Amino acid sequence: MPYITELITVAILQLLSIISPGSDFAIVCRNSLVYSRKTGVYSAIGVALGILVHVAYSIVGIGLIISKSILLFSTIKLLRAVYLIYIGCKSLQVKPVKQSNLHWFKQDITHIAAMRICFLNNILNPKVTLFFFSLFTQILSPHTPISVQ
């Protein structure tokens, strides 16, 4: 396996980027703490699906188009800002439900909603696009077969 070093390098850098604090980390932690552990797991699945989309189009080369087009990149940033404002407004509107004499809990959201929130948060993040594009252009060589990529 002549490409094992590329694979290990990409895997380690991806792992480090996932565990570093950011908006995905904050939303997954919030969903885990406010709702339930299971909701947090589904939120993490949503982030993983978003990352899968970024990896797919970065390998195909769309990341280059997005990074070179100021209009497209600005549109993604604007959509992200609108979505974050929407999430903030929705979180302010939720009323806590008393389920115990000792604690206040918020009503749990559906698993699909948890995945959707985190998926959109990840997909609309232009930094993730640039991260994957720069990662793949620096680590993977042009001679690396598509199957290995």
What are the structure tokens assigned to 105, written together? 């809990």
**Predicted local confidence at residue 9, as pLDDT:** 80
| Domain locations along the chain | 22-139
By residue count, the chain amounts to 149
* pTM strictly above 0.85: no
- Block means of pLDDT (10 residues each) for the chain, 149 residues, are 75 78 87 89 94 83 73 82 83 66 65 93 84 74 66
CA distance 19 to 145: 29
CA distance 97 to 24: 26
**Predicted local confidence at residue 115, as pLDDT:** 95
Q: What are the C-alpha distances in Å from 131 to residues 41, 64, 84, 125, 126?
A: 24, 11, 20, 10, 9
Spatial contact of 121 and 23, defined as CB atoms under 8 Å apart:
yes
